[in-house]
Structure 1
Amino acid sequence: MTRSNQFLHYRWVSILKTLCQIGLPAFFLMVQAWAGNTDDFDETLKIGLLPDSAQKILDSRFGPLLHYIEAETGLRVEYKQSKDYLDLLNQFKEKELDAVLFGGYTFILAQQGAGAEPLVLRDNDLHFNTVFLVRPGSIEKRLKDFKGAVISFGSRQSTSGHLMPRYFLDQQSMHPEIFFSKVLYSGSHDKTAYWVRDGIADIGAANSQVIERMLREGELLESDIQILWQTPDYTDYVWAIQPDMETSLRVRLLDAFLSLSPLNPEHEHILESVGAGGYLPAHDADFDLLRNVVHSLRSEIK
């Protein structure tokens, strides 16, 4: 079976797995609990989001999804903001968060430091990439032409804004601290784009989907930036949970994500807001490439 078909039936597979794990009597008690009055919240789900864009953008993108999760699961959803990537990681490690949307690199760090377990990812997260941005009209036409220039990455803990673009530069023998005159870290993808536009950096690496959205919504103009090069695909972004999350809660959350369908008119806006056609079960092996990259760059990304 292809990965693209998994989200259409996996909700039933997850229920059957739960039935095998907890036994028939407990399973029916759990179903009865789900069928109860969801207006009376008896549990709170504390959620965190990777702060890879301005807060107002995160609120706009994920507000519909969080409202849906609350309605679908009967759980009170409490969204806790994070000031940066490290703050998000620390909140998860201190068990202040139950479920988090991580980037690929922050997920690996959360798994290594706190045992984070992958739950779901969007259908397009398996085929992610980074774009290198320059100003329009630049006479430099290739990455190698930017020797001695100023480059900006996003956050140091960003997969698409730092880890993977650094990896692909290294693969072409362009080690950032040696090849460029200065290496900057903007902290977010949108700020990297603005730094390139405003001349603070000559070239910048950013999440391709963020740049596409900024252009589509008018936060960037076609005359502001130009895409010089796009990386090959890699896996990025995953919803992850605490390793000791109760089975019943885990299944309720998984089922809510996998029930989102582009064929359901009520789900269309939710999926459009997060840039997805649906959600798929996430597997640990999806991040093997990133683990290898983290290992190969361990001396550069400390």
Structure 2
Amino acid sequence: MGRRGLLAAALFAALPVMAQQVLRVTAIPDEAPTELARKFAPLGQYLEAQTGMKVEWTPVTDYAAAVETLVNRKVDLAWFGGFTFVQASVRSAGKVIPLVQREEDTKFRSVFITEADSGIKTLADLKGRSVSFGSASSTSGHLMPRHFLLTAGIKPETDFKHLAFSGAHDATIAAVAAGKVDAGALNISVWEKFVADKKVDTSQVKVFFTTPAYYDYNWSVHADMPADLREKLKRAFLALDPANPAHKAILDLQRATRFVPTVPENYSGIRAAAESAGLLK
């Protein structure tokens, strides 16, 4: 083989290694795309420093796309809700695995909100009203609120006057605040952030029901990811220390006190709720 042939062969052999130098990351679009990108940017820089890889943010249009991109290995790391993780696990025959979750995700909750003068005080008061969930594939904006409604004997399709899907948690707040629906269900973390940032007037919009706790969000990877890279990523998340100001800034954007390890078994309750509600296909 000539010199050019050897050079070409060397370059070809190096391609997989070069490709592996990029870590592609996505997230379910449960908030506005600009907000997701803003929240991820410092975490992405941190992961670059910890892994030595270029981190590439890959936004997706909907929850289903987030599932498919990781199942088909078009991304390497994905931020899932509990339900989207279960969907990805089923779609991949168990090859999508959860890596870490925020400590808050071990006891996550959803809230139901309404306008202060709506007269809605309990879940039973939602009968005959218009109600919005977030995305149909959202754990905290649809699946678990639906689960607790069904547990209370309320069937959304028959008991609500109108059932809507806003597409995202912030959109649900906006729909309730604008009077487009009588009530809405969403992620408690987004609600508390809106309250803290004074983006919602709590004298006009209030929480009237908070669900029991359940496991929710996680960072997931595909089982085909090299074990050493998977472990490096896990260590990087677990090393984020709120006592370190730079780390705290990252954690605050992720609405996390810290990250903890997680396992597939933590999501068996969500899988059971999805199967019971007929939402897992």
Same fold (TM over 0.5): yes
Task: Write the mapping of 1:262-273 to structure 2, written as runs, cut at 5 A.
Answer: 262-273=242-253
Q: Secondary structure at the match of 1:173?
A: coil
Question: Which amino acid in 1 is paired with 2:31?
Answer: S
Cross-structure match for 2:151: 171
Contact 2:194 2:200 in 1 (8 A): yes
- TM-score, with structure 2 as normaliser: 0.90
C-alpha RMSD of the superposition: 1.5
Q: Secondary structure at the match of 2:186?
A: strand
- Residue 87 of structure 1: CA displacement? 1.5
Which residue pairs with 1:201 in the alignment?
A: 181
SS at match of 1:222: coil
Match of 1:284 among 264, 268, 274: 264
2-structure distance, mates of 1:146, 1:98: 41
Q: Does 1:245 align with 2:217?
A: no
Give the match's secondary structure for 2:194.
helix
Matched, 1:234 2:243: no
SS across alignment from 1:121 = strand
2:15 matched residue in structure 1: none
1:46 — aligned with what? 24
Contact 1:104 1:290 in 2 (8 A): yes
Structure 2 counterparts to residues 149-160 of structure 1, below 5 A: 149-160=129-140
CA distance in 2 between partners of 1:200 and 1:266 (Å): 41
Q: Counterpart in 2 of 1:217?
A: 197
Deviation at 1:56, TM superposition (A): 1.7
- Does 1:67 find its partner at 2:45? yes
Contact preservation (8 Å) 1:45, 1:78? yes
Are residues 42 and 101 of structure 1, via their aligned partners in 2, closer, same or farther at CA, if it must alter by over 3 Å? closer
Deviation at 1:156, TM superposition (A): 0.3
Cα distance in 2 for residues equivalent to 1:59 and 1:215: 21
Question: Is the partner of 1:125 in helix, strand or coil?
Answer: helix
Q: Is the 8 A contact 2:131 2:184 kept in 1?
A: yes
Maintained 8 Å contact 1:41/1:75: no
CA distance in 2, matches of 1:295, 1:42: 37
Structure 2 regions of 5+ residues with no counterpart?
1-17
User: Structure 2: how far apart are the matches of 1:198 and 1:301?
Assistant: 32
**Alpha-carbon distance, 1:278 to partner:** 1.0
- The CA deviation at 1:42 is 6.4
Give 1:54-93 correspondences, 5 Å limit.
54-93=32-71
User: Do the aligned residues in 1 keep the contact of 2:169 with 2:190 (CA within 8 Å)?
Assistant: yes
Aligned to 1:22: none
Aligned match for 2:116, one of 136, 146, 166: 136
Which of 86, 98, 122 is the matching residue for 2:76?
Answer: 98
Distance 2:174 2:20 in 1: 44
Aligned position for 1:34:
none
1:290 and 1:72 mapped to 2: Cα distance? 32
The CA deviation at 1:51 is 0.7
TM-superposed deviation, 1:301: 6.3
Contact 2:60–2:66 under 8 Å retained in 1: yes
Tell me the percent identity: 37
Structure 1 residue 266: Cα displacement: 2.4
How far did residue 77 of structure 1 move? 0.4
Cα distance in 2 between the residues matched to 1:145 and 1:42: 54
CA distance in 1, matches of 2:50, 2:203: 43
Kindly tell me the number of residue pairs found equivalent between the two proteins: 262
Q: Give, in whole Å, the separation in 2 of the partners of 1:265 and 1:141.
A: 41
In the alignment, which residue of structure 2 is the partner of 1:188? 168
1:165 partner amino acid: P
Q: Which runs of 5+ in 1 are unaligned?
A: 1-39
Asked whether the 8 Å contact 1:41–1:76 carries over to 2, the reply is no
Alpha-carbon contact 2:169-2:186 (below 8 Å) kept = yes
User: More displaced, 95-104 or 263-272?
Assistant: 263-272
In 2, Cα distance between equivalents of 1:224 and 1:47: 38
